[in-house]
């Protein structure tokens, strides 16, 4: 079982902001995650968590279907989702520079769940985390690999 910390690219994809193909690919990713019993780590109240709930009022049918799927298979399913309270997170490492304050919760969640992997579209974030040995993978490489695994 893998623990994955995804950031807001999921919701941009779900809303179709990155095109229909990435929207479909992200839905396939969520389906695969649910079927493989891998977990998504979510920080309650984080921008990722807030955007997940905002997706529930999206106007497009694919977005609403993805919101419903995510809610039922992840947010309401502790087998597939680990929800952390912000107050329970370890402090952000003071020696870790180059990370946007908006992304601190991603690092803190990774530190709270040893062995978890941050998946992002933010190349500077990945570079900063790589320099400190914090597991991180870019969205396209991760999604392509994950969907091609049996």
Walk along the chain (150 residues) in steps of 10 and give the mean pLDDT of each run: 93 91 95 92 91 74 86 92 96 91 96 97 96 96 92
How high is the pLDDT of residue 150?
62
Under 8 Å between Cβ of 66 and 54: no
- Domains of the chain by residue range: 26-148
How high is the pLDDT of residue 20?
93
* DSSP string for 45-89: TSHHHHHHHHGGG-SSHHHHHHHHHHIIIIIT-TTTEEEE-GGGS
How high is the pLDDT of residue 59?
67
* DSSP code, position 101: G
How high is the pLDDT of residue 146?
96
CATH of 26-148, one of 2.60.40, 3.40.50, 3.90.228, 1.10.20: 3.40.50
DSSP SS3 for 12: helix
CA dihedral 90, 93, 96, 98 (to 10 degrees): 60
How high is the pLDDT of residue 50?
83
């Amino acid at each position: 079982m893998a623990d994955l910390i995804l950031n807001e690219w999921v919701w941009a994809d779900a809303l179709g902001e990155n095109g229909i193909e990435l929207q479909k690919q992200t839905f396939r990713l969520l389906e695969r995650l649910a079927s493989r019993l891998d977990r998504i780590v979510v920080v309650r109240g984080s921008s990722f968590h807030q955007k997940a709930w905002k997706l529930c009022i999206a106007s497009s049918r694919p977005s609403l279907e993805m919101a419903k799927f995510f809610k039922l298979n992840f947010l309401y399913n502790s087998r597939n989702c680990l929800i952390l309270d912000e107050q329970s997170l370890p402090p952000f490492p003071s020696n870790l520079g180059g990370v946007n304050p908006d992304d601190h919760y991603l690092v803190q969640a990774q530190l709270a769940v040893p062995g978890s992997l941050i998946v992002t579209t933010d190349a500077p974030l990945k570079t900063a985390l790589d320099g400190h040995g914090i597991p991180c993978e870019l969205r396209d490489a991760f999604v392509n690999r994950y969907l091609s695994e049996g």
